Structure 1
């Protein structure tokens, strides 16, 4: 979007101050009032979108923006205006001068913030949550990046009502390399992960995660792998923060651990109760500072900002208060995906979301809300790798939604689609294909061939064709879907780029590496433009460019790319991130292709050590890196050392995968070739015979 563009004849865009998956944030000048504001421009929609889809999106955008604009509290970012200009949806907010809490931690080199700062932030965020919960509004995506401390010390919560818009626009937070839409795993409450209903206490749990990180420098479950983080939230007690931060007063440690209770009933009952706990911790006696425990340093007494004088936090926001959470006024969950109790083609909102829509009987409303909760629970079973259970849950849910809503209702079809995804994850690709085909027919009848949901289903059909070995059919359909998505959603829409990314993968599987390289390069360039050069999706496409370069024998180009990619991923994701280590692995492989085997050996050993530390000694990635070090040793003529490693890798893979797994057979072949180099022909021949027999058994079982 160009600088100096005038939005709705009023807001002059001056310069970009932020960019993310949903769009850009601009510093702008309100020409009518002569003040500077922040304008969040959601991704340009353009005239080529499917009209009914645009109509629904605009209406939902207006509803969300009205809810956000109605919030008036010093601790919440003010929304001044919203609208649409030349196909671009925009929200005008107050321009904040300060840093979000994630940036504050970065500024502090991810070291804990001073105790007085943690206390001040906790009290101000709690006051803002007390107000929003009083309005029956739940944020649901509270995290350091959504909380800003301004230059005058005021702490503000941002993005009420904005994150939720990403669901329909197509920009959702993704876990790197999975393509699965998620929230922010380090700050998700157990009930968000499981099957329980979400209320204001979910925000309190997320606040506990934020305060824990501010006080210790790390989230409560800093486990690297996203699924391990989710399991930590659900099943593991957090390490007491004073173990990591001895100078944290005991009273605040107790508060944080109560906020992080697995069961909502074991947390403070609401933000009002939390505010009282914080006040008691700060002032256990009149005129005194925080409670002092053995060996605990006191934090200086700091007065609350002047604007809080005389402020009352309101009455508790518990679910037992019918005035707030009566059945005719459900809690608005602003950052959740819309669940459809109505018809999305008409723009009906979900009763569970608390946004105005057609009135429904209480029993039907309750049934639909329960089904929405079960849908979330089933999705999370899949995210945790429990695909058998997830598939059963989605199939049961599809049957109940069909009974309540009809066979072609979008919710029914969504549940059936998810059951197909579960079947695919279980390797039951033929059954998955049948399910996808039925869902596709239903979506075409209900929504039309070019509706985004229909195209999403066609995308799944195409990928599943590839898994069935029908690579040419997969390529043809993926090309068609990419073209349709470009026409309906735009050439640079994430869904369009996802299909093109998968098309490039299939081209590689077909051995068409030049075409695959060109497609990956185009996807990487488009993602860099729309998402930013260091976005995980951009970096994923660049990684695949490196794979193609290597396959085409352009190892020098691949080596240069991987060096840049390692630096970018280290900067964006950290040195021990799995994707960073994967890029380093590619770097080492291409060092070998350049016959720089000593450097390749050093890189392989370092990556193997890092992967063992982060992922474990028997993780597949760790074993791949150990094998790469054996390859380098062989090229350096150090076959005895290589033999030990080849044998260790083969034994580990056989123990984990079974004797006839292809990776195990490949490892035994590596070992046999190493034995040949050592002059031990008899042992090598015996191992080759064993591999051949196992391959024959495997082939017979597959007939």
Structure 2
């Protein structure tokens, strides 16, 4: 694009003045108006993107550019024009004469080794002035319903006349969709630069204008002290710092800063949005009051200012700020955890509840009580506490235990971000060090091994996961007792993994035993008891006991609605299982109603773009197809493809699953040319993303053969059917039901080609394999 030097016959590119995650910025001349402008050229979408995604992103770019162009405020960069030229999206903005805050800090960085880092921060008067101007701009944009999402020093310009402007409104939100500006590509974390991300962005929760206020707090902290609040060695440590750690007051890093700046910055950096200022207007009032050295004006919404941990003695029930590592002491065991942990329970998996598409119900996120002590606080008051055991080992240094606890927490965060291989490496290392320092049966050692087992199950090493969970269960039984909640959690995981391995009879026995123990020690309505009953219902359906599965799932859903509420994620998971059982029983109208109810409940509770909401919508489409309502299913899948691509990316397996459903329903509507094209594209993407022999890839390849057959192209269809049959026999075994079904497909194709003798011989061969397969009791 730069080679042409002229865009749309109007904007002549002169000098490259910046390059970033989303593209390049050029100084240019508007030939029509004779003025200099800045032209931002976004990275080309390129041929590697599928056409549907490219179309979606171009439309979203236009929409977001219109949003940015509509903003008219002295503190927001003006957007003059936007468009697409030669396949590249571009923005035309006012050309600013100044430096961004990141550059200003770099300008002040020590040039010589003997200079002190205190010279890097900006003067206090500049910090306050910048804070006021940025706050004014945010008050305006938030009033327009716009959240920036990626506020950072590089996006804030200080002009030569002293004015301050925020850049990239609207484009920041576009970056979230395309995935250009995030350093966490592929993790599905909400967009943002790690040093300036709010805890709710990190957790993937819904965000609002208060997320921008948190990011502003990070910016003010950096320009006031010279470093961000969490300037740690790697991205994951930074994210964990935002989520788990109260930063040191700015005045500790730069002595002499006034107390009001500590109060304002720490108030902005509160872990939950509710603890921050309610809006930018409230923050502006606090800044004005501080400047005039008067108290903040009274009102119904006083500024919520966090105080240093040493400022006041902790009152009963008050959440005391805390920190890990060098920023402060470890969180005391008796201090309540922040609000984002309220849905977590000790001893369960470090993932959120997901749709039941084949593995039952995973337990919710958790945090471990990692104290380095043998005293275990039971989850139920009726459970027996375990006293500290004298192992004869020298007491490890407290600092070492705290470091291990922090590394364990980092491993949990990696898991929540989907980085299972890395999480497993962290947990294995921590488990080994804890075994050496504390002993192999110490609860913390077993807690780390429990997480190792979970990462193994998430990376497909199910046999290894079963061995790990079994050993953890045995160790916990020795250390904690057979009915301790953590022992039961490990035993329940062994049952879950047995189900993953298809050993449903054994899984049923373990689930039943754990359920009896949970009911005895916790009561029938305890959430963990209900979770076990749910998994038992799921396993019953896999044993073919569909009526029993439906009855039990319905009972659990009713109990969870009573105990947890009708829109609690666990309640909705059980309702999902009820709908699944109804579908297996052929009661598709009831299944459709159930899935729609779950989708609506999840949209209310989790958000429209949450993976679980989208999973329920997918099942609505399956039900519509089963009821021969393919036109409705096609419309649903079209919207689902767009939403999946926006939320997770065009190549995400679930986006491709939705596209597969779209193609199937195109075929059901006799639109076979379109169906074949869709099947080919999805198969090619699945092969690149999942591998050539992945079951989903083979399903798509079979769909290509189906389309070829309906178009009368039977010779081509036969070749594809044989590819699928050979791959399934190689991967699953020649007697696996899917491999045998593929041989039947091959025989049917031979019939259509008039090769009846070959078809009959193949049918006989498949029938014989099925008889022998069945006679072995499989």
**TM norm structure 2:** 0.52
Query: 1:440 deviation in Å?
Result: 1.3
Q: Which of 446, 459, 463 is residue 388 of structure 1 equivalent to?
A: 463
1:78 equivalent in alignment to 2:153: no
* Matched residue, 1:482: 557
User: Superposition RMSD on alpha carbons, in Å?
Assistant: 4.5
Which 10-residue stretch deviates more, 66-75 or 619-628? 66-75
Distance in 1 of aligned mates of 2:564 and 2:454: 25
Distance in 2 of aligned mates of 1:16 and 1:462: 45
Distance in 1 of aligned mates of 2:479 and 2:763: 60
Q: Which of 93, 103, 110 is residue 276 of structure 2 equivalent to?
A: 93
Which stretches in structure 2 are left out of the alignment for 5+ residues?
A: 1-141, 150-199, 216-240, 254-261, 281-321, 332-336, 367-401
Aligned residue pair count: 459
Superposed, which structure 2 residues align to 1:648-667 within 5 Å? Answer: 648-667=723-742
Query: 1:541 deviation in Å?
Result: 0.3
8 Å CA contact 1:69–1:79 kept in 2: the answer is: no
Distance in 1 of aligned mates of 2:266 and 2:277: 6
* Matched residue, 1:397: 472
Q: Matched residue of 1:702: which SS?
A: coil
Greater RCO (CA < 8 Å, at least 6 residues apart): 1
Structure ID, larger Rg: 2
* Matched residue, 2:695: 620
Q: Matched residue of 1:492: which SS?
A: coil
* Matched residue, 2:580: 505
Superposed, which structure 2 residues align to 1:177-326 within 5 Å? Answer: 180=362, 198-200=404-406, 229-231=419-421
Which stretches in structure 1 are left out of the alignment for 5+ residues?
A: 1-12, 29-35, 39-63, 84-88, 98-128, 139-159, 185-195, 210-220, 236-259, 265-318, 320-326, 328-351, 353-361
* Matched residue, 2:495: 420
Q: Which of 662, 669, 672 is residue 594 of structure 1 equivalent to?
A: 669
**TM norm structure 1:** 0.57
Distance 1:618 1:677, change over 3 A: same
Query: 1:518 deviation in Å?
Result: 0.3
Superposed, which structure 2 residues align to 1:558-573 within 5 Å? Answer: 558-573=633-648
Q: Matched residue of 2:496: which SS?
A: helix
Q: Which of 764, 769, 776 is residue 689 of structure 1 equivalent to?
A: 764
* Matched residue, 1:52: none
Query: 1:226 deviation in Å?
Result: 8.8
Q: Matched residue of 1:78: which SS?
A: helix
Distance 1:263 1:447, change over 3 A: closer
8 Å CA contact 1:413–1:443 kept in 2: the answer is: yes
8 Å CA contact 1:448–1:454 kept in 2: the answer is: yes
* Matched residue, 2:11: none
Query: 1:646 deviation in Å?
Result: 1.0
Query: 1:641 deviation in Å?
Result: 1.2
Query: 1:136 deviation in Å?
Result: 3.9
Distance 1:172 1:427, change over 3 A: closer
1:423-456 CA-partner distances (Å, limit 9, x unpaired) = 2222222222221122112111211111111111
* Matched residue, 1:678: 753
Q: Matched residue of 1:637: which SS?
A: coil
8 Å CA contact 2:441–2:475 kept in 1: the answer is: no
Distance 1:699 1:226, change over 3 A: farther
* Matched residue, 1:165: 342
Distance 1:557 1:431, change over 3 A: same
Q: Matched residue of 1:167: which SS?
A: coil
Distance 1:201 1:391, change over 3 A: closer
Distance 1:232 1:653, change over 3 A: farther
Distance in 2 of aligned mates of 1:487 and 1:392: 37
Superposed, which structure 2 residues align to 1:301-380 within 5 Å? Answer: 367-380=442-455
Which 10-residue stretch deviates more, 426-435 or 507-516? 426-435
Distance in 2 of aligned mates of 1:203 and 1:394: 20
8 Å CA contact 1:166–1:172 kept in 2: the answer is: no
8 Å CA contact 2:498–2:507 kept in 1: the answer is: yes
* Matched residue, 2:705: 630
1:579 equivalent in alignment to 2:654: yes
Distance in 2 of aligned mates of 1:454 and 1:182: 14
Q: Which of 593, 596, 611 is residue 536 of structure 1 equivalent to?
A: 611
Distance 1:696 1:592, change over 3 A: same
* Matched residue, 2:257: none
Superposed, which structure 2 residues align to 1:507-522 within 5 Å? Answer: 507-522=582-597
Query: 1:71 deviation in Å?
Result: 5.6
* Matched residue, 2:531: 456
